Amino acid sequence: MLTGVTIVDFSRHLPGPICTMRLSDLGAEVIEVEPFHDKAHSPLTGPSYPEARETGAFYLRSHCNHRSISMNLRTNEGKALAFALARQADVVVESYRPGVMRHLGLRCTLWSFIAP
């Protein structure tokens, strides 16, 4: 039904992955943008480190049929790559607090993805 539709997913919280999971079940291509974790320079805090989260049933179900890429949106290279991905997508999904995309230098509007 949604074959040929490309979705770039910047979401982090429950509604985003559930939304893109359902869209991928309908045939959309979902590219999930995950945060860059430099294990050499950032200590893992608490029991919710990525390796543990990525083996749970909910994670595996809500992220099936997704392709993923990890990038650092705080660097110019990461922002350029995110902009290029979103520019060629049909839909961009994000769930940051209000103003975070603008702070990162990326702005989403209802109709287009705009670089400042």
Weakest mean pLDDT among 17-21, 26-30, 64-68: 64-68
The residue type at 80: A
Give the CB-side neighbour count of residue 106, counting CA atoms within 13 A.
26
Paired sense of beta strands 6-9 and 113-114, if any: unpaired
Residue 116 CA, distance from chain mean position:
20
Identity of the residue numbered 58: F
Please list, residue by residue across 52-90, b when 16 or more beta carbons sit within 10 angstroms of its beta carbon and e when fewer do. Answer: eeeeeeeeeebbeebeeeebebeeeebbebbeebbeebe
For 31-78, the pLDDT digits (tens) are 988 877 655 444 444 444 555 556 666 666 666 777 888 888 888 898
Q: Fill in the DSSP letter of residue 46.
A: S
**pLDDT-above-90 percentage for the chain:** 10
pTM above 0.85, yes or no: no
